[in-house]
């Protein structure tokens, strides 16, 4: 993905509100399926990783796991928020 496209996507992502919270159970099959549905409908999704989800893995590792499981790309990680794009 070129820099201009990435910049546009990050600008668009800043306007999104998190629609999925990932909690203490972490990345589970139902969470992945829900993310897939939202990605299919909206192509971009912002998620919030709650503190309890980050006890074993850091935010970057969880984001990469979600991207791989859903066939999407990590656009941005800011604090405890992750934006995926498909």
Question: Between vectors from CA 40 to CA 36 and to CA 42, what angle results, nearest 5°?
Answer: 110
pTM: predicted TM-score of the whole model, two decimal places: 0.92
pLDDT value, residue 56: 86
Asked if 81 and 15 touch (Cβ cutoff 8 Å), the reply is no
Containing 35, the helix (H) or strand (E) segment is helix 29-42
What is the DSSP secondary structure assignment for residue 79, as one 8-state letter? Answer: T
Phi/psi for 44 (5° steps) reads -140, 140
pLDDT digit string, tens, across residues 12-45:
999 999 999 999 998 999 999 999 999 999 999 9
Is pLDDT of 54 > 90?
no
pLDDT value, residue 63: 95
What is the number of other CB atoms lying within 10 angstroms of the CB of residue 35?
A: 23
Domains in the chain with CATH codes: 3-85 (3.30.110.60)
pLDDT value, residue 2: 86
Q: State the average pLDDT for the chain.
A: 93
């Amino acid at each position: 993905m070129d820099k201009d496209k990435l910049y546009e996507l990050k600008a668009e992502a800043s306007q999104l509100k998190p629609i999925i919270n990932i909690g203490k159970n972490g990345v589970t099959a139902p969470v992945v399926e829900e993310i897939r549905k939202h990605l299919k409908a909206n192509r971009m999704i912002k998620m919030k990783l709650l503190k309890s989800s980050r006890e074993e893995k850091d935010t970057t590792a969880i984001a990469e796991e979600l991207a791989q499981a859903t066939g999407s790309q990590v656009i941005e990680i800011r604090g405890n928020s992750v934006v995926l794009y498909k």
